[in-house]
Amino acid sequence: MLKKVLIANRAEIAGRIIRGCKKLGVKTVAVHSDVDARLPYVREADEAVYIGAAPAAKSYLRGDALIDAALEHGADGIHPGYGFLSENAAFARAVTASGITFIGPSADAMDRLGSKTAAKAVAEKAGVPVTPWFKVEGVDKALKQAAEVGFPVIVKPASGGGGKGMYRCDSADELRERIERAAREAKASFGDDTLLVEKFLVNPRHIEVQILGDNHGNVIHLFERECSIQRRNQKLIEESPSVALTPEQRRTVCDDAVRIAKAAGYSNAGTCEFLYDEAGKRWYFCEMNTRLQVEHPVTEMVTGVDLVEQQLRVASGEKLSLKQDSIKQTGHAIEMRIIAEDPFTGFTPSLGTLEHIEPPTGDGIRNEMGYQSGNEITPHYDSLLSKLIVHGKDRKQAVERSLAALDRFHAAGIQTCIPVHRAMLKDEGFLEGRFHIHYAEQRMKDGLCKREHQESAMLAAAALAFERDERMQSAGRTHLSAWASSSLPRAK
């Protein structure tokens, strides 16, 4: 087993990895930028290292500095988390070359699957269906190929994820303009301006399969996650199991994911993403995320498997102790991403001091927190505050528990997307399982969250009042009322 792991990441995922390491008695080294020094994960780690200034390019994307910090502090493993350098094959190769274990797939496997174009080629060779696609090799050639595929199409970066640089194109003119834009965004975000174009499925569902492999040729799946509730290609709500799949479809798509992983010589945790055409009852391989997913707790809740623990065991050279027949889905789990954005002003980032945050507790409730009261929300990184994961005996109970938990989730000083989650979990189409990857955006345009607006404002005001009262009481004062005159004497 590894002895000490440096976590090359921040906030909630760093905290999650630290807890996984502690479970196995593995020491941890946290890295942080200047603005992250007071985040909880820094205190939770056994050691902490300042890695650079706030912009990611000067801190969490400095591969050489991360490796130097690991060597200086005696870490024999580096866990990349998700985002940043987690899917960067050059970084994985440099970590391995330094004599440190990279907790993830091999750099060669990342080369084979990290690029969407390469991953589609692997899937096709493995006999797994993919949507018609081509690599962009010049604008004029791309326009001719797109005409053959048929509009609409979608242009996207070959590397990276998170919905960046992805554009639907309904005509040749749109494709010409958006290829240039997507290339610029891909270069800025991922350091690679390679693009691909594929047939755009109008209203598919997003189904992904969690896989896990070791370094001895064993690969298993841990079933699927339904990730169709999205906004601008960013997932908002994830759940498992998917209500769209029959047992036979579930077996087939999960087996397809295992075939892809085996064909690529994949080890450690990874996720195969599929687009499911519900009308045609067909799914198409989309891409593979060669890392731990943001939504991995959904899988953990329904299978009982600790994915971070398994990552550490595989990276330490152990064979998988889990057998495919022993993995079962039990109950239903839902994850809601609590994001610091204001849904009533076009999802603008909500920055500033998080004056108070108090997550809910109770049966079937799990919180993955990135921040605590008093922390600053800055513009330098993504706006994910925390993840709320809820488990129930079935989907109905999971939804009911989720709504109750959202009502008890208190955050003051900033705005969050909680009203969106609350409204979506009450939406008839969601409850009946009638949704697709564009459904959430369509419903928001229809005014999905309007009735939540006033209630959200009232809850925020109440949370601020609570925090104010707490501060005043701790200062030895009695708060009389919001209307009390400032000239009144203090209580003795």
Alpha carbon 187 to chain centroid, angstroms: 21
Give yes or no for a cis peptide into 157 (omega within 30° of 0): no
Contact status, residue 416 vs residue 350, Cβ threshold 8 Å:
yes
Residues 62, 112, 178, 291: which is the catalytic one?
291
CA 469/CA 22 separation, integer angstroms: 37
CA 258/CA 114 separation, integer angstroms: 16
Burial class (CB in 10 A: 0-12, 13-18, 19+), 491: exposed
Q: Which two tokens stand for residue 77?
A: 């493993």
CA 320/CA 170 separation, integer angstroms: 46
Helix ranges, 137-171 (H): 139-149
Query: Comparing C-alpha atoms, which of 131, 82, 4, 111 is closest to residue 293?
Result: 82
CA 244/CA 199 separation, integer angstroms: 22
Any catalytic annotation for residue 291?
Answer: yes
Burial class (CB in 10 A: 0-12, 13-18, 19+), 246: exposed
SS3 (DSSP) at 230: strand
SS3 (DSSP) at 196: strand
Identify any residues that bridge with 337 across adjacent strands, giving them in sequence order: 387
Alpha carbon 66 to chain centroid, angstroms: 22
CA 49/CA 243 separation, integer angstroms: 44
Query: Comparing C-alpha atoms, which of 23, 25, 27, 40 is closest to residue 79?
Result: 27
H or E, element range at 269:
strand 268-277
Q: Which two tokens stand for residue 390?
A: 């809820």
Contacts of 470 (CB under 8 A, 6+ apart): none
Q: Which two tokens stand for residue 410?
A: 């208190």
Query: Comparing C-alpha atoms, which of 457, 383, 449 is closest to residue 419?
Result: 449
Q: Which two tokens stand for residue 464?
A: 């601020």
Give yes or no for a cis peptide into 152 (omega within 30° of 0): yes
Give yes or no for a cis peptide into 204 (omega within 30° of 0): no
Q: Which two tokens stand for residue 401?
A: 């528990």
Catalytic positions, written as ranges: 291
